[in-house]
Amino acid sequence: MEKNDNRYGTYIQILKEELVPAMGCTEPIAIAYAAAKAREVLGALPDKVEIGVSGNIIKNVKSVVVPNTNGLHGIEAAAVAGIVGGKAELQLQVLSEVTAEQKQEMAAFLKTVPIKVAAVDNGIIFDILVKVFHGADSALVRIAQYHTNIVLIQKNEETVYEAVKDEGEGEAAKEMGLADKNLLNIKDILDFANTCDVSDLKPMLDPQIQCNTAVSEEGLIGNWGANIGSVLLKTYGSDIKYRAVAKAAAGSDARMSGCEMPVVINSGSGNQGITVSVPVIEYAKELCVSKEKLYRALALSNLIAIHEKTGIGRLSAYCGAVSAGCAAGCGIAYLHGEGYEAIAHTLVNSLAIVSGIICDGAKASCAAKIASSVEAGLLGYAMYKSGNEFKSGDGIVNNGVEATIRNVSQLGREGMRETDKEIIKIMLQPQPEVKE
């Protein structure tokens, strides 16, 4: 693919937009970002806070620990963290410079300042509104569609900023300000990975290699979440297959439990960023391939994961780790010197195995889902190598990789809408008391 090809520039731009550093689970961090920006616009510490969030935001914030808060979790905690200690200019690293004093202030703020949280349904799956008050003054910030996309800022009910709307309504509207992901397809992604100038990839992939490897190692060293990564290694040993699976899971172990180390995300998710990269990095070490080969494999795996997620959407009842784990299998196939046929079959086989995994929010069990998804990616490749495959007509598998991706997109975007509603309903219902 030539550099003057429109696809080349678009693919580089997609990687720049999607592979960015973030500290903490990205949905609570998006709330913290909106809250930090609202306080900045207000110009004072609020004496009242109102928060409106869509159902999927509730789902992904409810159970995860917010970093740099001394273990707080939930929507109120995420907003207060942004208000008290956040720096809006840092966007998804908004909480990276919180001080010890500010952590104490957060706890006091939660106890003394009225905070109202409400579910909103404006026809957008990703929707956050934070309104803060100080006396007679108020400020409102709204983020919609994706994590850093501020679409509205108001001060004292007057609009200070409003994003220009694209054609379409609600989820049908194109993600504002982002590159056109409809140009992605597996053949062109492979062509790009094979021919791109590696120096164009380094600014995005060097941080991904460094940050995501570090958080996965921390997940194995420390006592984080359900310790899925450590359990895998202790149970199955350190063979490269289980090492790749365990290290990806361990990164999520740490991240879901409030680890304050940054990760480089994919498709708006740190878990997906870890899943799509760490197994590929681990296999590159095992196979002793060149750094250039690793860069090309990561470009492939990252873009395939983004391609899979484009039709599903940022948030749904379809577990994003599935897309990332299957894409990691493709990156590993690439490291073994495989071409289009092997990569396409790896993806189809692996999607057929794990596309039923649901997303019931961000929490410790994400690490186990990551492990299953990466293992499916490896099995999908092993099936191809042994001459086996799932054929067109086998369930959601269709004739060709692009047709299968479209089927999975329809499943995740349309077919699982009601599933998503039920998951949120279950998560929000009161938990019965357990008698000893």
**pLDDT score for 169:** 44
pLDDT tens for the chain, residues 1 to 436:
999 999 999 999 999 999 999 998 999 999 999 999 999 999 999 999 999 999 999 999 988 899 999 999 999 999 999 999 999 999 999 999 999 999 999 999 999 999 999 999 998 999 999 999 999 999 999 999 999 999 999 999 999 999 987 554 444 445 778 999 999 999 999 999 999 999 999 999 999 999 999 999 999 999 999 999 999 999 999 999 999 999 999 999 999 998 999 999 999 999 999 999 999 999 999 999 999 999 999 999 999 999 999 999 989 999 999 999 999 999 999 999 999 999 999 999 999 999 999 999 889 999 999 999 999 999 999 999 999 999 999 999 999 999 999 999 999 999 999 999 999 889 888 766 655 5
Domain pair 23-172 / 184-426, same fold: no
**pLDDT score for 265:** 96
The type of residue at 107 is A
Task: Kindly report the pTM of this predicted structure.
Answer: 0.93
CB-neighbour burial class of residue 167 (10 A; exposed 0-12, middle 13-18, buried 19+): exposed
In the CATH scheme, what architecture does the domain 23-172 have?
2-Layer Sandwich (3.30)
3-state secondary structure the chain: CCCCCHHHHHHHHHHHHHCCEECCCHHHHHHHHHHHHHHHHHCCCCCEEEEEECHHHHHHHCCCECCCCCCCECHHHHHHHHHHHCCHHHHHHCCCCCCHHHHHHHHHHHHHCCEEEEECCCCCCCEEEEEEEECCEEEEEEEECCCCCEEEEEECCEEEEECCCCCCCHHHCCCCCCCCHHHCCHHHHHHHHHHCCHHHHHHHHHHHHHHHHHHHHHHHHCCCCCCHHHHHHHHHCCCHHHHHHHHHHHHHHHHHCCCCCCEECECCEHHHHHHHHHHHHHHHHHHCCCHHHHHHHHHHHHHHHHHHHHHHCCCCCECHHHHHHHHHHHHHHHHCCCCHHHHHHHHHHHHHHHCCCECCCCCCCHHHHHHHHHHHHHHHHHHHHCCCCCCCCCCCCCCCHHHHHHHHHHHHHHHCHHHHHHHHHHHHCCCCCCCC
**Spatial separation of the C-alpha atoms in residues 212 and 252, rounded to whole Å:** 10
Domain boundaries, the chain: 23-172, 184-426
**Spatial separation of the C-alpha atoms in residues 276 and 289, rounded to whole Å:** 18
The type of residue at 27 is E
**pLDDT score for 174:** 58
**pLDDT score for 435:** 59
Residues found in the chain = 436
In this structure, how many other beta carbons lie within 10 angstroms of the beta carbon of residue 388?
A: 10
In the CATH scheme, what architecture does the domain 184-426 have?
Orthogonal Bundle (1.10)
